[in-house]
Copies of this chain bind each other. A is one copy, B any other.
Amino acid sequence: GKGGEGEIGIAVKVPLVRMKIGEVGEATSVVVLPVCKAEEGVKGVEEAPGECKTEGEFGVVVAEKAWRRWVVFPGWDPVMGLGPGGVVVAFADARVLPWKVNRWYKEEAILVVADRSKKDVVVDDGFYLVSSKENGGDLKVERGSVLKKLGVKDGLGTVVLVVRPPREDTEEMEKTLS
């Protein structure tokens, strides 16, 4: 380089790469979803952008409205199948879940992925994102059967996935709750 001495004078090479098929940026392999924090409550869930289209060959995500907080997921079936109703709620721990079988629930943050296009409480065995009246509107996850008994007809959305954070051990990688 002829830019002079020192750090600023170091010759710069601009790398040109070709994105690989199946690599992260490809539209079919990852899903980008808007995130709201549990503390933002019903307002956060309802205000998060709906439709997020994918544009062009690079899989650029174009949301129907501007938003600050996003997460990138691998192309897991439940999130790939989400339409414009997809939203992610970040909880500090898993005590908001209606099942409590292991001690990790108090120790790990979780992300709850919900479909806002399916608000009606119709499935007994389904799980719904709701705001709990007894806790000043705090968000939680509840079973359809429980909501029906309480006479609750609709929630904020149907839960399609719960995500735990990455860990070194590879056991219990995937688990289906019912």
Query: Which A residues lie at the B interface, using CB under 8 A?
Result: 1-4, 8-21, 23-26, 29-30, 32, 35, 55-74, 76-78, 90, 109, 111, 122-127, 144-145, 158-168, 170, 172-178
Contact = CB atoms under 8 A, between A and B. Distances in A.
A65 to B, nearest CB: 7
Contact of A125 (B13, B20, B145, B167): B13
B14 A160 contact: yes
Given A14-B161, A35-B60, A71-B60, A122 B8 contact: yes
Copies per assembly = 2
Contact of A24 (B14, B73, B168): B73
Given A122-B3, A125-B1, A17 B76 contact: yes
Given A124-B1, A167-B18, A72 B162 contact: no
A70 B109 CA distance: 25
